Amino acid sequence: MQKRVLYRHTLPLRIMHWVNAVCLLILLGSGLQIFNAHSALYWGQGSDFHHPWLILGATSDGDGSLRGVTMVGPYRFNTTGWLGVSEMDGAPTERGFPNWATIPGPQWLALGRAWHFFFAWIFAINGVCFVAYALWTRHLIRDLVPTRKDWRGIGRSIVDHALLRHPCGEAAARYNVLQRVAYLVVIFGLGGGIVLMGLAMSPRMDSVLGWLVDLVGGRQSARSIHFLLAMGFVAFFLIHMFEVVITGLGNNLRSIITGRYAIEVETHHETDH
């Protein structure tokens, strides 16, 4: 076996990947900062304080100490130290998400909103640039849209991933069907959806996107969907990083930094008679 180095990711794709990574990190932290100002979610047009579907709050024990409580529908969980109650300035404080998860600081709502809106526009513009570039270079059709052959092998691909068996050799040079489906869902489902729901939450967009607010059931529904899509990004990131590590951290990092990706190929030696 010998290694062959391929040019896997072009410079524009690498730049847009890292712009997305920075934007998503700041958007998540600043979004949690905004969420902490009112750490509950509802369905519908208005905030029905008696019927939230999610609360990250706190209750006081008999001795006066705070206990973090997360409520999802009728279910209650003790999440002290993680959600509902965490330490701030050395004392337990009621907070939806802990300080380390929020950007730009523990209690700076105005600046958190400013950061969130600024990087949201960068994220949206970067996404439009990616789609335009992917269509122009045929990267979208060639590398991301599954073929009929891909769909026929999706069952085997699911089993292989569950058993941590990954493509090697020439097969590793192209995205498998699960990667293709995941990237399409993230780009157009999570990415497109989270931008639309963010716009739908703004009263200024009523004249333009009022139909969308009605379609999802109201502005609070849009906020809830926006939050769930953000959690979808977190889930994708965790799975993505796990796959990056177990399939070769150094090789994958080199690929997304320099564009070059190494694969192992068989060598055939001829014997003279």
pLDDT the model gives residue 273: 45
List the structure tokens of 88. 């701030």
Quote the distance between the C-alpha of residue 251 and its chain's center.
23
pLDDT the model gives residue 232: 96
What pLDDT, in 10s, does the model give residues 228-256? Answer: 999 999 999 999 999 999 999 999 999 99
Domains of the chain by range and CATH?
2-39+109-265 (1.20.950.20), 40-96 (no CATH)
DSSP β-bridge partners for residue 70: 56, 77
Picking from 26, 28, 41, the residue whose alpha carbon sits closest to that of residue 71 is 41
DSSP β-bridge partners for residue 5: 262
pLDDT the model gives residue 130: 96
Cα(132)–Cα(223) distance, integer angstroms: 28
Picking from 72, 83, 76, 88, the residue whose alpha carbon sits closest to that of residue 36 is 83
pLDDT the model gives residue 267: 67
3-state secondary structure of 49: coil
3-state secondary structure of 90: coil
pLDDT the model gives residue 4: 84
pLDDT the model gives residue 1: 67
What pLDDT, in 10s, does the model give residues 71-111? Answer: 999 999 999 888 988 877 777 788 889 988 998 877 788 99
Cα(139)–Cα(119) distance, integer angstroms: 25
What predicted TM-score, i.e. pTM, was given to this entire model? 0.89
Cα(50)–Cα(109) distance, integer angstroms: 25
Rama region for 164: left / alpha / beta (φ>0; ψ in -120 to 50; rest) = left
pLDDT the model gives residue 95: 87
Average pLDDT per 10 consecutive residues for the chain, totaling 273 residues: 86 96 96 93 85 91 83 92 81 86 84 94 96 95 92 91 85 89 95 94 81 90 96 96 93 94 72 48
Cα(42)–Cα(55) distance, integer angstroms: 9
Cα(71)–Cα(100) distance, integer angstroms: 22
